[in-house]
Amino acid sequence: MRTKVISSTIQLEQIISACRSKGLTIGFVPTMGALHEGHLSLIKSSKEQTDFTVCSIFVNPKQFNKAEDLDHYPRSLKMDVSKLEAAKCDLVFAPTENEIYQDEVPFEFDFAGLDQYMEGKFRSGHFNGVVHVVKRLFEIVRPEKAFFGLKDYQQFVIIQQLVRFFNLPIDVVGCPTVREKNGLALSSRNSQLDTKDIPAALELSKALNLIKSRFQKSNLDALKKQAINQLEQHTKLEYLIIANSRTLSPIEKWSDAQHARAFVAAEVGGVRLIDNVEIF
């Protein structure tokens, strides 16, 4: 069956209601398009765990804090739709900005401190934009399960908080980061990288792996300094943070947390990249 592509909220709600009346469960994968294997792994998980998979493609202006970043964000709807068709995604929702926001009811949201560090700190207003679009999309699609990549770990934790805060009956599923063989985390932004910048881009996953491989053997501060030093030689480093996986607050000693992840953001050849890895 061909994958249906729609842009109307009313039409989407009708299709979802028809699925519901047949007793089908809905899986939802929100994206900004320029799809790659990382996105398709979320579609695969949704297809395995639910009966009807909806993928949204919407480049959300509210989550960009720089106009030029929004302007340069890659857009490739036609190619995206053929990839989703090959992945047997049931429905593609590609709304306009007006379609998404016209019926939005303003709301207050408590981030519970999860937006204080990393992307929340360095991209002012970013998560506010994310939370607004995802809440709106959740209201329209009303999925049983929603699939998010751990590549954007802070976003994943904030979406869990969104669901908790509004008591939404949605299971937020985190899916592992898909990488190139060389370790580079797949990202829509990678298409903007010049070939000559790839070795520098690889420094992000290398730094994270250094921390992961040495954490039991090295003092946290010394290891962090070594990774930062390495990153600064090849990239324009924004942050390298080792944080508690639950609260996302930075840790000073390995014994400060039971679960920790390392997070990095850096610019390479004018392209901003992020990555993270579980340490323990």
Active site residues: 39
Q: 220-234 vs 198-214: helix axis angle to the nearest 10? A: 170
Binding residue (CB under 6 A) for ligand AMP from 187, 205, 235, 276: 187
Q: Measure the CA–CA gap between 133 and 28, rounded to whole angstroms.
A: 14
Work out whether 32 is an interface residue with ligand AMP (CB under 6 A). yes
Q: Which part of the chain contacts ligand AMP (CB under 6 A), choosing from 32-40, 205-213, 240-248, 254-262?
A: 32-40
Binding residue (CB under 6 A) for ligand AMP from 50, 56, 177, 205: 177
Q: Which CB sits closer to ligand AMP, 43 or 257?
A: 43
Q: Which CB sits closer to ligand AMP, 149 or 250?
A: 149
Q: Which part of the chain contacts ligand AMP (CB under 6 A), choosing from 77-85, 170-178, 203-211, 229-237?
A: 170-178
Smallest separation (angstroms) from ligand AMP to the CB of 95: 15
Work out whether 201 is an interface residue with ligand AMP (CB under 6 A). no
Smallest separation (angstroms) from ligand AMP to the CB of 129: 11
Tokens of 177: 């980061």
Task: Report the side by side order of strands in the sheet with 145-149.
Answer: 4-6, 91-93, 52-57, 26-31, 145-149, 171-175
Residue tagged 């720089």 (tokens): 66
Residue tagged 């805060």 (tokens): 165
Q: Which CB sits closer to ligand AMP, 187 or 235?
A: 187
Binding residue (CB under 6 A) for ligand AMP from 3, 28, 39, 243: 39
Work out whether 174 is an interface residue with ligand AMP (CB under 6 A). no
Q: Which part of the chain contacts ligand AMP (CB under 6 A), choosing from 37-45, 48-56, 71-79, 227-235?
A: 37-45
Q: Measure the CA–CA gap between 222 and 214, rounded to whole angstroms.
A: 11
Q: Is residue 149 classed as helix, strand or coil in its secondary structure?
A: strand
Residue tagged 């639950």 (tokens): 246
Q: Measure the CA–CA gap between 115 and 120, rounded to whole angstroms.
A: 4
Tokens of 121: 């700190």
For 267, the enclosing helix (H) or strand (E) is strand 260-268
Contact 43, 55 (CB under 8 A): yes
Residues lying near ligand AMP in the complex (CB under 6 A):
31-32, 38-39, 41-42, 148-149, 151-152, 175, 177-178, 185-188
